Amino acid sequence: MSAGRELASWAARAERTRGRRVAEPPPVHRSEYQRDRDRIVHSTAFRRLMYKTQVFVNHDGDMYRTRLTHSLEVAQVGRTVARALGLDEDLTEAISIAHDLGHTPFGHAGQDALNACMREHGGFEHNLQSLRVVDELEERYAGFNGLNLTFEAREGILKHCSAANARQLGALGERFLARTQPGLEAQLANLADGIAYNNHDVDDGLRSGLISVEQLATVAAFRRNWSATAAAHPGLASRRAVHETVRRMIGELVGDLIEESARRIAAAGVVTIDDVRALHEPLVGFSAERQAEVVELKRFLRQELYQHERVRSMTAMAQRVVSDLFQAWRATPSLLPPDHAEAVTRAAAADGASGEARAVADYLAGMTDRFALAEHARLFGATDWPQSGGAGLPSIPT
Ligand code: MG
């Protein structure tokens, strides 16, 4: 809901939500989507995002993004676009701050390691895990497991899903089988995620010294905005010039996203969210020209930053920490804290080895980077891990 502002007819309507899994009385002073957002803010998983890796391991330095600050940046971009397009800002924000709740410690390296551990038990996928956190794993309410969010928030959190998993998710899985779309707030949060991480990874990458302005000058969007900054502000200190350039890059993408999405919405002639959901292509998107630049920037970051040898050294560490802990707890569940040991026993009784493995994966996925490292040290003794990224690296000159 956006108090005092008209929502577009194709926006999600809190008063017409497809509802919660467990029926609850409507909120008195908030909309249904505000309640979703508030429940996420109060969740344990949300607080833990503060100590989870985005690209640089959380203990590398205080200046880098973590999953928490990343999620807040996604929400900022999302709300701006939502307001401009007449979409529900609170729902957009709820999806934005919940989208990474299921992320393991150590970023994608941690997810890949846990996925390998779970290979024979259905695998592990952080996006599906985010839904599991809000549907099952949070234990904060007397009347239900999880946060009991609205269908629209859950629809937005589940960005992608295999056909096999979709078949087990009921109404939420239907669109993956029918190849249709979620509501516009969900489409938007997905793209806001990309705008946030591409641009903050440029900033963090430069700060770490792992990539340089000279390298980034091969990327059209960076080159254009760096030059424009230099022309408008000759002699600007380079740290500030980087921030100004990144600010301009985000501004360009947000502007393009608003204009192109408005154009597509008008051209499609949709009236309600159900019209949006029936389509086979998303309506929220960049112009072709901007999309090509986004792809170019993503490719640059993958090659030069995410696969930088000092970032990849984290992969080896994450694999060892995650798989050592997983094997240890599978072999001896009594090494877990009592309530998690009980959860593993219950899951084993209900679903056998796969249930047991899933309960261990849930516990591991919920950990912060530093807690996983501390648990590893407790069970396996101190290890001299290599530095993954930023610590001790030169920061960019000012
Ligand atoms: Mg994200």
**Those residues with Cβ within 8 angstroms of residue 367's Cβ, 6 or more apart along the chain or in another chain:** 48, 104, 105, 375
pLDDT of 392 > 50? The answer is no
Distance 99 CA to ligand 1 centre (A): 6
pLDDT on residue 387: 56
Residue 50 C-alpha to ligand 1 middle, in angstroms?
13
* Confidence band for 2, pLDDT divided at 50, 70 and 90: very low
Whole-number Å distance between alpha carbons of 234 and 240: 12
Task: Give me the chain's average pLDDT, please.
Answer: 92
- Give CA–CA dist 55/251, Å, rounded: 23
DSSP string, 282-320: -SS---HHHHHHHHHHHHHHIIIIITSHHHHHHHHHHHH
Q: How far apart are CA 124 and CA 57, in angstroms?
A: 21
User: How far is it, in rounded angstroms, from Cα 245 to Cα 252?
Assistant: 11
Mean pLDDT of 64-78: 93
Distance 193 CA to ligand 1 centre (A): 5
How many angstroms is it from 94 CA to the middle of ligand 1?
13
What does the pLDDT read at residue 21?
96
Alpha helices in 121-237 (DSSP H): 126-132, 151-157, 163-166, 174-178, 184-208, 213-216, 220-232
Q: Taking 90 as the threshold, does the pLDDT of residue 283 lie above it?
A: yes
Is pLDDT above 90 for 117? yes
Between the CA of 240 and the centroid of ligand 1 the distance, in Å, is 25
Place of tokens 């947000």: 254
CB 95 within 8 A of CB 125: no
Contact between 40 and 95 (Cβ < 8 Å): no
Q: For the chain, give me the number of helices (H) and strands (E)?
A: 18, 0
For the segment 234-250, the average pLDDT, to the nearest whole number, is 96
At residue 247, does pLDDT exceed 90? yes
Greatest CA span in the chain, whole angstroms? 69
Distance CA 272, CA 289 (A): 29
CA of 357 to the centre of ligand 1 (A): 26
Q: Tell me the average pLDDT across 184-200.
A: 97
pLDDT band per the 50, 70, 90 thresholds, residue 224 = very high
d(CA 273, CA 33): 15
Least confident of 158-162, 305-309, 310-314: 310-314
Confidence of residue 382 (pLDDT cuts 50, 70, 90): confident
* Cα 186 from Cα 52, distance rounded (Å): 24
- CA of 70 from ligand 1 middle (Å) equals 7
- Residue 371: CB atoms within 10 Å: 14
In this prediction, residue 53 carries a pLDDT of: 79
Q: What is the mean pLDDT of residues 251-267?
A: 98
**pLDDT at residue 393 tops 60:** no
Angle, helices 338-365 vs 107-117, to 10°: value is: 120
Taking the centre of ligand 1 as the mean of its atom positions, its distance from the CA of residue 353, in whole angstroms, is: 31
Q: Where are the domains of the chain?
A: 14-20+27-310, 312-380
Residue 125 above 50 pLDDT?
Answer: yes
Q: Name the pLDDT band for 27 (thresholds 50, 70, 90).
A: very high
- Distances in whole angstroms, Cα of residue 376 to Cα of each of 118, 314, 324: 19, 15, 8
Which among 185, 155, 149, 182 has a CA at the least distance from the CA of 169?
Answer: 155
pLDDT at 26 over 80: yes
What's the start-to-end Cα distance of the chain, in Å? 43
The stretch 75-90 carries a mean pLDDT of: 98
Nearest to 255 by CA among 59, 141, 85, 2: 85
Q: How far is the CA of 363 from the centre of ligand 1 (A)?
A: 21
Q: How far is the CA of 213 from the centre of ligand 1 (A)?
A: 24
Ligand 1 centroid to residue 359 C-alpha, Å: 24
Question: Residue 185: exposed, middle, or buried by beta-carbon count in 10 A (0-12, 13-18, 19+)?
Answer: buried
pLDDT at 384 over 80: no
- Ligand 1 centre and the CA of 95: distance in Å? 11
- Centre of ligand 1 to C-alpha 354, Å, is 28
- Residue 197 Cα to ligand 1 middle (Å): 7
149-167 pLDDT, tens digit per residue, is 999 999 999 999 999 999 9
What is d(CA 225, CA 247) in angstroms, rounded to the nearest whole number?
9
**14-20+27-310 placed in CATH 1.10.3210.10:** yes
Q: How far apart are CA 55 and CA 305, in angstroms?
A: 9
| 376 Cα–ligand 1 center, Å | 26
Q: Hey, is 160 helix, strand or coil?
A: coil
Partners of 150 in beta bridges: 20
Cα(96) to centroid of ligand 1, in Å? 8
Distance 142 CA to ligand 1 centre (A): 30
Give the Cα separation of 275 and 277 in Å (integer): 5
Q: What is the pLDDT of residues 83-108, one digit of tens each?
A: 999 999 999 999 999 999 999 998 88
Q: Is 150 helix (H, G, I), strand (E, B) or coil?
A: strand
